[in-house]
């Protein structure tokens, strides 16, 4: 830090003198904050925020494997809370975090951030799973989140110091902050292409170490610089070594506890930005063919060779040994998920979510004309057809078979081909994508808009077939599929949907015949099912001991008949214990049927093997209460501990402003992430496009505010007013753009999304630096606390956004964010007048 020795400089903001902001020690005289900012500070902040966002997103990926995906959603909230705690510490300890020592603390806390990233993760690997449902039995979960939050405290201290100790350069610093976060979200995607999740933790720590090295270079302390260089080189060395071992399938650092159990080494493991796949089993040992829906009449003595692929240690798909002899796959003719093949021989088949190739092999076993298999996860296609191709028979080399790495709905929408069978069998990864666990990719397949696209791509004889779990006592998923079929058919102009649908059930897929879990398959036809179709179906069901639950002829459950009628359903849906209304693109939460008002009613959470989906909403409810309480503490506790009460005079408008933009930014960001993931059709595209475009454009918007020297003038208020106009335009035009371009190429859809997001992010990046400039002219000592308020409300908003979307739709979440920005404009004008 440069030291002024001859004169005490004066810093002026508008009409106020600010010469007393910086205090010297041991005879040092204060300096202006602007003089203290060098390029190393900008680059160091860039690297710290890059590492911070990378680690936040990486944790959702890792937690989705080590725990159930609805716990993974909490990772981002806990990370943001840790950063908020760091900001509050800066506020509560002003004598320690002085402006003169800001660069020193930036360097030290950056290095602590790097060290504790690795240390906390290693501790997390050793924490046993939750094995007790009692409150006291939740200690491993609580310990996990406490441990994981620790490194983010140091990150929060760094970011808070950078954005509050150099008020004259806050616009450029905030731009560097957002630019680093934008690059981080893309960098993680490519990091996970090269290595695995645990090694990516070392890479994130490496970037944090580089940030600490940059800060230490600017500080000029040789010992600190040497420590930073040694730490960075060690992290780089171990990251490279473990990546080499990952390529050999022998990583030195790997996950220990997975879904509550100790995990041994698999035959194969591969990570990417939205999944972790593993393959297990003995390729030489014959065993009973896998299938939850196989008829009990199938000969149990017949064996096949198969391997077992797991996605995030929860979703399962088999790899079957195939040498070209279709008799080896005859058991697939006994599976309830393949009913459509019995009704439509000689068909062109479209398989959504090919997984380990089971549905592809089914089409071949029925000697269908062709099969187009679309799988969103290219690593699965690579494993099935390359890594284990000799075992699976290289299905991609069969002239009847075509594999495509894409999202099924998007692929179909962009092509004119029509199919006789479109098959979707138990597509649900239960995995937390980087955008948050309550937006799993497969939800885009379970909406009215998606089903209309599918049915428009059926031939006149075509059948759309979905297979889901059938819980005997209250088959919520099958009820909801029926609602989807009914609503979609009626929107296509069909007056009597029941004539176009059939539901069959395979009861008790486990050994016990009274097992409440079963499998259900719904067939939806463009044309009414003929008598010949129904006769064939009834004969197959009788021969294979399946139950016909609903058809134009019979209804074993009056609820199915009511839903299939498509008439006067509002009262029926409202009174039903679960939310079984047809999901839409505005509310694409097919698997979450528990209403928010019922989250604490345990009687409604039971859905058999899929109960964790209803319990996920319960976790969301608990999380909402928790983050509201933590947000309250972050705001109130510093007030109680603050001794100089007079410093708070006039702070209320700024308190409202920073709270409002914290809520507003997250509500808009998460709602658009949810909306555009459906539009872009791929979690990676949704993540990188939304985060990168919003953060980068927000950084540019922040940079532009550097030209505004007087925060009390009319220009900031005009910028905020323009932001409201842009939000109105965005909220109105986005649904139209999504509908108009849903069948375009991936590149075109990404460009459309960027064009929509860029002006939005440009103006959303302006409020924070403008607020900081306004606060620093009079209430400079409170700026860390105001930054903490912004962070705390962002934590809260990250959960509230999902709550609003689940309850009222994504659009409601977006417009709530708009209301927050409107409140921020009013608060800013209020604060400006009080300042005057």
The arrangement of secondary structure in 592-836, i.e. its CATH architecture, is: Up-down Bundle (1.20)
Contact 709, 716 (CB under 8 A): no
SS3 402: strand
Please tell me the least confidently modeled range out of 124-128, 553-557, 694-698.
124-128
**Which of the given ranges, 215-219, 311-315, 356-360, has the highest pLDDT on average?**
356-360
**Residue pLDDT, tens place only, 702-721:** 999 988 888 878 889 999 99
Query: Model confidence at 496, in pLDDT bands (50, 70, 90)?
Result: very high
Mean pLDDT calculated for residue range 111-137: 79
Distance CA 380, CA 376 (A): 9
Contact 527, 552 (CB under 8 A): no
Residue 221 has pLDDT above 80, yes or no: no
Rounded to the nearest integer, the mean pLDDT of the chain is 85
Residue 70 has pLDDT above 60, yes or no: no
Distance CA 99, CA 122 (A): 34
**Residue pLDDT, tens place only, 154-194:** 999 999 999 988 888 889 999 999 999 999 988 998 999 99
How high is the pLDDT of residue 834?
64
Distance CA 16, CA 391 (A): 77
Strand partners, 794: none
Residue 657 has pLDDT above 60, yes or no: yes
**Residue pLDDT, tens place only, 411-469:** 998 888 999 999 999 887 554 433 334 443 347 899 999 999 999 999 999 999 999 99
Contact 74, 145 (CB under 8 A): yes
Mean pLDDT calculated for residue range 597-610: 70
Residue 645 has pLDDT above 80, yes or no: no
Residue 368 has pLDDT above 60, yes or no: yes
CATH code for 324-575? Answer: 3.40.50.150
Q: Starting at the edge strand that comes first in sequence, how are the strands of the sheet with 517-525 ordered?
A: 401-405, 370-375, 348-352, 419-425, 458-471, 517-525, 501-506, 547-550
DSSP H or E segment with residue 798: helix 783-808
Rg (CA), the chain: 29
Query: Model confidence at 61, in pLDDT bands (50, 70, 90)?
Result: confident
Measured between alpha carbons, how far is residue 85 from residues 290, 601, 638, 647 in Å?
A: 50, 33, 10, 21
Contact 277, 264 (CB under 8 A): no
Contact 268, 249 (CB under 8 A): yes
500: which DSSP letter? Answer: G
Distance CA 471, CA 11 (A): 70
Residue 134 has pLDDT above 70, yes or no: no
CATH code for 1-265? Answer: 1.20.1250
Distance CA 92, CA 107 (A): 20
Distance CA 526, CA 460 (A): 6
How high is the pLDDT of residue 275?
85
DSSP H or E segment with residue 503: strand 501-506
**Which of the given ranges, 92-106, 530-544, 708-722, has the highest pLDDT on average?**
530-544
pLDDT > 70: percent of the chain: 86
How high is the pLDDT of residue 780?
79
φ, ψ of residue 314 to 5 degrees: the values are: -140, -55
Distance CA 686, CA 759 (A): 18
**CATH 3.40.50.150-classified regions of the chain:** 324-575
Strand partners, 462: none
**CATH 1.20.1250-classified regions of the chain:** 1-265, 592-836
Mean pLDDT calculated for residue range 129-137: 54
Residue 3 has pLDDT above 60, yes or no: no
Neighbours of 287 (CB within 10 A): 12
Please tell me the least confidently modeled range out of 84-93, 139-148, 482-491.
139-148
Cα dihedral sign, 789-795-800-801 = positive
Query: Model confidence at 11, in pLDDT bands (50, 70, 90)?
Result: very low
Report the 3 state secondary structure along 81-143: HHHHHHHHHHHHCCCCCCHHHHHHHHHHHHHHHHHHHHHHHHHHHHCCCCCCCCCHHHHHHHH
Residue 71 has pLDDT above 80, yes or no: no
How high is the pLDDT of residue 432?
41
List Cβ<8 Å contacts ≥24 apart for 641-645. Answer: 641/92, 642/92, 644/781
How high is the pLDDT of residue 152?
95
Measured between alpha carbons, how far is residue 268 from residues 187, 249, 283, 396, 744 in Å?
A: 24, 7, 13, 20, 36
How high is the pLDDT of residue 726?
94
Distance CA 687, CA 690 (A): 6
Nearest Cα neighbor of 506 from 388, 376, 334, 358 is 334
SS3 518: strand
Who wins on pLDDT, 798 or 770? 770
Mean pLDDT calculated for residue range 217-222: 76
Who wins on pLDDT, 779 or 751? 751
Who wins on pLDDT, 548 or 37? 548
How high is the pLDDT of residue 22?
24
């Amino acid at each position: 830090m440069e030291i002024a020795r001859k004169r005490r400089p004066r810093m002026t903001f508008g009409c106020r003198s600010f010469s007393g902001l910086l205090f010297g020690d041991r005879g040092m005289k204060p300096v202006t904050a602007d003089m203290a900012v060098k390029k190393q500070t900008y680059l160091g902040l860039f690297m710290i925020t890059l590492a911070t966002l990378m680690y936040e997103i990486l944790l959702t990926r890792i937690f989705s494997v080590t725990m159930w995906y609805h716990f993974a959603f909490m990772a981002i909230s806990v990370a943001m809370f840790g950063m908020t705690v760091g900001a509050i510490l800066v506020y509560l300890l002003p004598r320690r975090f002085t402006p003169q020592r800001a660069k020193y603390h930036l360097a030290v806390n950056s290095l602590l951030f790097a060290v504790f990233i690795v240390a906390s993760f290693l501790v997390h690997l050793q924490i046993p799973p939750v094995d007790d449902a009692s409150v006291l039995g939740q200690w491993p979960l609580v310990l996990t989140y406490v441990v994981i939050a620790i490194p983010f405290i140091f990150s929060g201290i760094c970011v808070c110091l950078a954005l509050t100790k150099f008020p004259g350069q806050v616009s450029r610093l905030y731009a560097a902050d957002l630019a680093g976060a934008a690059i981080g979200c893309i960098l993680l995607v490519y990091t996970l292409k090269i290595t695995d999740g645990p090694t990516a933790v070392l890479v994130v720590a490496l970037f944090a170490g580089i940030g600490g090295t940059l800060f230490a270079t600017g500080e000029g302390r040789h010992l600190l610089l040497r420590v930073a260089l040694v730490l960075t080189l060690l992290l780089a060395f171990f990251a490279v070594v473990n990546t080499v071992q990952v390529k050999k399938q022998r990583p030195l650092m790997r996950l220990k506890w997975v879904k509550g159990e100790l995990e041994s080494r698999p035959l194969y493991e591969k990570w990417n930005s939205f999944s972790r796949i593993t393959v297990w089993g003995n390729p030489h040992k014959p065993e009973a063919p896998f299938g939850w829906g196989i008829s009990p009449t199938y000969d149990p003595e017949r064996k096949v060779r198969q391997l077992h692929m797991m996605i995030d240690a929860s979703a399962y798909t088999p790899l079957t040994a195939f040498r070209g002899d279709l008799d080896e796959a005859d058991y697939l003719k006994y599976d309830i998920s393949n009913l459509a093949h019995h009704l439509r021989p000689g068909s062109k088949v479209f398989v959504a979510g090919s997984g380990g190739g089971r549905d592809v092999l089914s089409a071949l076993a029925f000697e269908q004309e062709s099969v187009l298999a679309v799988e969103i996860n290219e690593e699965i296609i690579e494993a099935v057809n390359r890594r284990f191709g000799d075992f699976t028979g290289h299905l991609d080399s069969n002239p009847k078979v075509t594999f495509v790495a894409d999202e099924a709905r998007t692929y179909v929408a962009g092509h004119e081909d029509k199919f006789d069978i479109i098959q979707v069998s138990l597509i649900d990864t239960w995995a937390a994508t980087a955008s948050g666990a309550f937006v799993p990719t497969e939800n885009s397949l379970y909406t009215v808009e998606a089903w209309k696209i599918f049915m428009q791509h059926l031939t006149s004889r075509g059948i759309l077939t979905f297979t889901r779990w059938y819980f005997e006592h209250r088959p919520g998923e099958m009820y909801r599929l029926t609602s989807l079929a009914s609503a979609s058919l009626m929107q296509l102009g069909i007056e009597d949907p029941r004539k176009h649908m059939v539901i069959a059930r395979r009861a008790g897929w486990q050994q016990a015949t009274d097992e409440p879990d079963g499998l259900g398959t719904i067939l939806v036809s463009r044309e009414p099912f003929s008598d010949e179709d129904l006769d064939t179906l009834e004969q197959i069901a009788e021969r294979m001991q399946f139950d016909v639950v609903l058809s134009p002829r019979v209804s074993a459950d009056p609820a199915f008949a009511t839903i299939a009628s498509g008439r006067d359903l509002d009262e029926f849906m409202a009174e039903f214990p679960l939310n079984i209304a047809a999901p839409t693109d505005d509310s694409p939460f097919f698997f979450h049927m528990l209403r928010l008002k019922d989250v604490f009613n345990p009687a409604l959470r039971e859905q058999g093997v899929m109960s964790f989906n209803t319990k996920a909403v319960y976790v969301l409810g608990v999380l909402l209460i928790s983050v509201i309480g933590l947000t309250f503490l972050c705001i109130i506790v510093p007030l109680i501990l603050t001794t100089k009460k007079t410093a708070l005079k006039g702070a209320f408008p700024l308190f409202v402003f920073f709270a409002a933009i914290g809520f507003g930014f997250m509500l808009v960001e998460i709602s658009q992430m949810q909306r555009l993931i459906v539009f872009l059709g791929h979690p990676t595209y949704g993540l990188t496009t939304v985060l990168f475009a919003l953060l980068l454009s927000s950084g540019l918007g922040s940079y532009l505010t550097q030209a505004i020297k007087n925060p009390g003038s009319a220009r900031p208020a005009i910028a905020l007013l323009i932001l409201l106009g842009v939000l109105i335009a965005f909220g109105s035009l986005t649904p139209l753009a999504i509908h108009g371009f849903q069948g375009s190429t991936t590149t075109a859809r990404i460009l459309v999304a960027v064009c929509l997001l860029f002006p939005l992010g440009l103006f959303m990046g302006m409020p924070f630096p403008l607020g900081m400039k306004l606060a620093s002219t009079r209430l400079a000592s409170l700026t860390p606390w105001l930054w903490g308020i912004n962070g705390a409300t962002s934590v809260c908003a990250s959960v509230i956004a999902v709550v609003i979307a689940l309850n009222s739709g994504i659009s409601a979440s977006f417009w709530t964010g708009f209301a927050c920005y409107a409140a921020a404009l009013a608060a800013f004008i209020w604060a400006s007048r009080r300042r005057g």
